């Protein structure tokens, strides 16, 4: 009986030991798994933080480059733009960084040359004294005269607001176009050059007019920017025009146009 008990007892001990061994192993594996899970999550979190830092750094660098471009053009930045989206459409008001065909590039450069009016009085048709003096009558007199627009634009350049005249001239050029395809291309170019918040030549427009432009961009026509053009015209008339008429630049122009007194 004792001999039988001994093996039975040994088997019972071994059985108990066998039962406990897998339990300890399972508990150890569970702890190891929990440990690795915690450290794995920590590592993953660190990667997310680093990725977020890099994204923020890219956005900050992009915004800084835009502000620097505006500063170099003499404009005071009014809005810090988010450079995460780059499309010219009305929904996000920013420029598209897409590759354009050679024909589009040529067409764009041609359009810009046509909208760039003569930049100085010396290069424009010289006004007569009578014509120049008529500019004091009304702003309309200035804008209807090629020499008047040129001299006024030169004055705007000294005030870092030349983009107002450039935008107005671009809109006038757009109204002359009848080809639908060309109209759509010019509308897009004007939007990128003067409406987009990423452009260094952005003109100052209120939210109402911008909403009108955004609606008009759905179906571009030669009159897409009529409201904006009128607002910029009024801005130049009320703000810059009075200063020009009272400026030394205008006084010097009149003096240069005066006929010398007849010799005795």
Could you report the per-residue pLDDT of 90-125, keeping only the tens digit for each?
444 444 444 344 444 444 544 444 444 434 444 567
Q: 185-189 — which CB contacts under 8 Å span 24+ positions?
A: 185/104, 185/107, 185/108, 185/111, 186/111, 187/217, 187/220, 187/221, 187/224, 187/225, 188/88, 188/220, 189/108, 189/111, 189/112
Contact 202, 75 (CB under 8 A): yes
The pLDDT of residue 155 is above 80: yes
pLDDT in tens, 10-35: 444 444 444 555 555 555 555 555 44
pLDDT at 125: 76
pLDDT at site 126: 85
* Rounded mean pLDDT, 183-206: 96
What residue segments make up the domains of the chain, in order of their start? 1-69, 102-257
Angstrom distance (rounded) from CA 253 to CA 154:
12
Better-predicted residue by pLDDT, 1 or 67? 67
**Superfamily assignment of 102-257 in CATH?**
Regulator of G-protein Signalling 4, domain 2 (1.10.167.10)
pTM over 0.85: no
Distance, in Å, from the CA atom of 170 to the CA atom of 168, rounded to the nearest integer, reads 5
Nearest to 174 by CA among 121, 216, 132: 216
Could you please report the per-residue DSSP string of the chain?
Answer: -HHHHHHHHHHHHHHHHHHHHHHHHHHHHHHHHHHHHHHHHHHHHHHHHHHHHHHHHHHHHHHHHHHHHHHHTTPPP-----TT----STTTT-----PPPHHHHHHHHHHHHHH----STTTSPPPPHHHHHHTTT-HHHHHT-HHHHHHHHHHHHHTT-HHHHHHHHHHHHHHT---HHHHHHHHHHHIIIIISTT-TT-----HHHHHHHHHHTTS--TTTTHHHHHHHHHHIIIIIHHHHHTSHHHHHHHHHHSPPPPP-
Tell me, what's the pLDDT at 64?
66
């Amino acid at each position: 009986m004792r001999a039988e008990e001994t093996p039975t007892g040994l088997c019972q001990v071994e059985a108990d030991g066998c039962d406990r061994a897998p339990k300890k192993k399972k508990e150890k594996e569970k702890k190891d798994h929990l440990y690795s899970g915690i450290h794995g999550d920590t590592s993953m979190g660190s990667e997310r933080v680093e990725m977020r830092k890099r994204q923020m750094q890219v956005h900050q660098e992009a915004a800084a480059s835009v502000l620097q471009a505006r500063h170099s053009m003499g404009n005071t930045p009014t809005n810090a733009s988010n450079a995460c989206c780059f499309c010219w459409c009305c929904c996000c008001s920013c420029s598209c960084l897409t590759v354009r065909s050679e024909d589009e590039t040529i067409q764009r450069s041609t359009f810009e040359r046509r909208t760039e009016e003569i930049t100085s009085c010396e290069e424009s048709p010289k006004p007569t004294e009578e014509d120049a003096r008529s500019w004091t009558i009304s702003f309309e007199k200035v804008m209807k005269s090629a020499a008047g627009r040129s001299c006024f634009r030169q004055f705007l350049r000294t005030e870092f607001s030349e983009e107002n005249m450039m935008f107005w001239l671009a809109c006038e050029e757009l109204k002359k176009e009848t080809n639908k395809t060309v109209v759509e291309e010019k509308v897009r170019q004007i939007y990128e050059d003067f409406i987009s918040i990423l452009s260094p030549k952005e003109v100052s427009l209120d939210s109402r007019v911008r909403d009108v432009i955004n609606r008009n961009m759905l179906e571009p026509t030669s009159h897409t920017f009529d409201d904006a053009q009128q607002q910029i015209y009024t801005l130049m008339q009320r703000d810059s025009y009075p200063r020009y008429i009272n400026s030394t630049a205008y006084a010097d122009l009149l003096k240069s146009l005066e006929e010398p007194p007849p010799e005795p």
